[in-house]
Amino acid sequence: MYSYIIKGGKKLHGETFVSGSKNASLPILAASIISGKTTKLYNVPDIEDVRITLQILRELGCKIKKEKNKVTINSRYMTKTVIPENLMRKLRSSVIIAGAIIARFKNVQFSYPGGCDIGSRPINLHLENFKKIGIKIDENTRYIECKYDKIETKNIVLDFPSVGATENLILASILGNQEITISNAAMEPEIVDLACFLNRMGAKVYGAGTNIIKIKGVTTLKNVSYKIMPDRIEAGTLLIAGAITGGMIKINGVIPEHISPVLDKLEETGCEIKLSKNAVYLSVNKKLKAVNIKTMPYPGFPTDLQPLFSTLLTICEGTSIISENIFENRFKFIQEIQRMGAKATIEGKTLIIKGVKKLHSADLESTDLRGGASMVLAGLCAKGTTKVSNLKYLIRGYENLDIKLRELGADIIRKEGE
Ligand code: UD1
């Protein structure tokens, strides 16, 4: 493992670009196995979560070729339908692979998934949806066993627009003669990317990006090449890094519409934002002010950027109130930022931050993926040298975060062995 050593206080300036989306890549990699053919994916981020997903696909019998950000998956000779428990535990989104396996083989066995510690993260909605379309589930053994003879035509109303449960239901419904309608579906851009990929492969998925998605089953799918969408969470991370250091930066390869709630809030703090087709410019020319944030499913403010934005708010003038409505355990990072002088209190689902003039350096331990990134951002603006260790979570979701920050003028180095 390694840590980042950050000499804080440098205003970021210049430009960098965002990588392909983690949260689009993971379900699309899973979906590639449904066709039993060859899938070529471009712009796949070189991150740990992708490596774990590819390892699972290999174990299932897929032939994989990976050259930097291009991944080729040949799933023709795949025969296994059991997702290995040790790999399942490494990654929450491995549960999506279950939907893809069941679509292709009519049965799958898997254990409960793992992932970042940001809340209980159950999979009840995934399993309830499977049941509603006629999949039989046995949870009484070491593995959850799912199987069916025929997927049933159904209208399904989700209790909550879960991203993963929407994706899993889409994948499980791709093949067959049935028609499935999902109401109160998640509307995240990554769902749109998944649907575009599936449709390119020959599937019939309509309405992705709205809260009603219809899937008409098809009998065959074909070879496909597809470029993954840019990572909106990475885009937000880099922009917040620009803001927290009082810098002037341009982030390329962004779809600005995907991050409009974040851009709105950055403007509300006092940042200046300018947009071009695929880039966002951010500059800070005055003292930034406190704002309130409520995380919501898309198109609301994304929970994944809450820890990073909250960290920015620790040095904004005034009191900010942050309501976390998606995950119950997503304020853990603030304990570490408090060690740098931040003033914050947690009341249930609410974080109250009183802005301070400056943070000071500290040795920090990363708690989860986005929490780890928020500590890096705190280090960038703090006085002195900050060390962020336990980066095993951060490398799951960011491709070369240190290199991109260095491109923007940050003094950050990666130290091996800790
Ligand atoms: C995805 C994203 C994650 C993001 C989250 C919310 C991926 C790989 N990860 O995670 O980065 O933070 O969306 O935007 O795309 N829930 C249940 N039962 C279920 C499923 C979910 O209670 O069966 C709850 C979760 O505990 C959580 C909430 O629903 O409180 C949202 O979860 P969900 O939208 O499913 O998030 P993920 O798909 O896990």
pLDDT tens profile 138-151: 988 888 999 999 99
In degrees and rounded to multiples of 5, residue 14 shows phi and psi of 105, -160
Pairing of strands 350-354, 319-323: antiparallel
Query: 76-112, pLDDT tens digit by residue?
Result: 999 999 999 999 888 888 899 999 999 999 999 998 8
- The pLDDT confidence band at residue 13, using thresholds 50, 70 and 90, is very high
Report percent pLDDT > 70 for the chain.
98
Instruction: Give the number of C-alpha atoms closer than 13 A to the C-alpha of residue 366, restricted to the C-beta side.
Output: 29
DSSP bridge pairs for 206: 214
For the Cβ of 369 lying below 6 angstroms from any atom of ligand 1, the answer is no
| Distance between Cα 93 and ligand 1 center (Å) | 9
Q: Smallest Cα–Cα separation from 161: which of 118, 121, 207, 125? A: 125
Residue 116 binned pLDDT confidence (cut-offs 50, 70, 90): low
Atom of ligand 1 nearest to the CA of 164: 38
Q: Give 96 Cα–ligand 1 centroid separation in angstroms.
A: 12
CB-based burial, 169-205: b 16+ in 10 Å, e otherwise: bbbbbbbbebbbbbebbbbbbbbbbbbbbbeebbbeb
Digit-coded pLDDT (tens) for 257-299: 999 999 999 999 999 999 998 999 999 999 999 999 999 999 9
In this prediction, residue 270 carries a pLDDT of 98
Catalytic positions, written as ranges: 116
Average pLDDT over every residue of 24-52: 97
User: What region does 130 belong to: left with phi over 0, alpha with psi -120 to 50, or beta?
Assistant: alpha
- CB-ligand 1 contact for 263 (6 Å cutoff): no
- Whether 326 is in the pocket of ligand 1, judged by its Cβ within 6 Å, is yes
How many whole angstroms from its chain centre is CA 392? 16
Whether residue 357 is predicted with pLDDT greater than 90 in this model: the reply is yes
Residue 339's SS3 state is: coil
How far is the centre of ligand 1, averaged over its atoms, from the C-alpha of 188 (Å)?
11
Cα separation of 243 and 374, whole Å?
13
State yes or no: pLDDT of 70 exceeds 90. yes
- Bridging pattern class, strands 212-216 and 179-183: antiparallel
Cα separation, 3 vs 388, in Å, equals: 5
Residue carrying structure tokens 């109130």: 321
Is 356 in contact with 314 (CB distance < 8 Å)?
A: yes
- Weakest-pLDDT range from 149-153, 285-289, 318-322, 401-405: 149-153
Average pLDDT across the chain, whole number: 95
Task: Determine which residue's CA is closest to atom 4 belonging to ligand 1.
Answer: 304
- Please indicate whether residue 206, judged by its CB atom, sits closer than 6 Å to ligand 1: no
Question: According to the model, what pLDDT value does residue 367 have?
Answer: 83
Which atom of ligand 1 is the closest one to the Cα of 186?
34
pLDDT at 114: 67
- Ligand 1, atom 13: closest residue by C-alpha: 163
Q: Which of 17-21, 116-120, 125-129, 322-326 has the lowest mean pLDDT?
A: 116-120
**Mean pLDDT, residues 392-412:** 96
From the CA of 119, give the closest atom in ligand 1: 26
* Ligand 1 atom at shortest distance from the alpha carbon of 120: 26
Rounded CA-CA distance 92/49 in Å is 9
Domains and CATH numbers, the chain: 2-19+230-416 (3.65.10.10), 22-227 (3.65.10.10)
d(CA 283, CA 272): 5
**Lookup result for tokens 């998925």:** 205
Q: Which residues contact 11 (CB under 8 A, 6 or more apart)?
A: 245, 246, 247, 248, 409
- Residues 40/197, Cβ–Cβ less than 8 Å: no
- Spatial neighbors of 224 by CB under 8 A, at least 6 apart, are 35, 37, 39, 40, 197, 200, 201
The pTM for the full model equals: 0.96
Q: State whether the beta carbon of 324 lies less than 6 angstroms from ligand 1.
A: no
Section 320-329 average pLDDT: 93
Over 80: is that where the pLDDT of 48 sits?
yes
CA of 299 to the centre of ligand 1 (A): 15
Residue 10 has what pLDDT? Answer: 96
Reply yes or no on whether the pLDDT at 118 is more than 90: no
The CB of 115 under 6 Å from ligand 1? The reply is no
Residue 121: pLDDT band (50, 70, 90) is low
Residue nearest to atom 32 of ligand 1 (CA): 162
Q: Which of 25-34, 111-120, 252-261 bottoms out in mean pLDDT, i.e. has the lowest?
A: 111-120
Q: Is residue 212 predicted with pLDDT exceeding 80?
A: yes
1 band by pLDDT with thresholds 50, 70 and 90: confident
* Most informative mutation of 50, 117, 160 for ligand 1 (most atoms within 8 A of CB): 160
- Ligand 1 pocket check: which of 47, 121, 190, 262 to mutate, most ligand atoms within 8 Å of Cβ? 121
Q: How far is the CA of 346 from the centre of ligand 1 (A)?
A: 22
Q: Cβ(303) to ligand 1 under 6 A? A: yes
What does the pLDDT read at residue 329?
Answer: 82
* 3-class secondary structure, 59: helix
pLDDT for 117 equals: 58
Q: What is the mean pLDDT of residues 54-76?
A: 97
Q: Which atom of ligand 1 is nearest to the CA of 328?
A: 30
Per-residue pLDDT for 173 more than 60?
yes
Closest ligand 1 atom to residue 162 Cα is: 34
Determine if ligand 1 sits within 6 Å of the CB of residue 168: no
Lowest mean pLDDT among 200-214, 286-300, 319-333: 319-333
Ligand 1 centroid – CA 121 distance (Å): 7
Could you say which DSSP state residue 289 is in? Answer: B
Alpha-carbon distance of 150 to 130, in angstroms, equals: 12
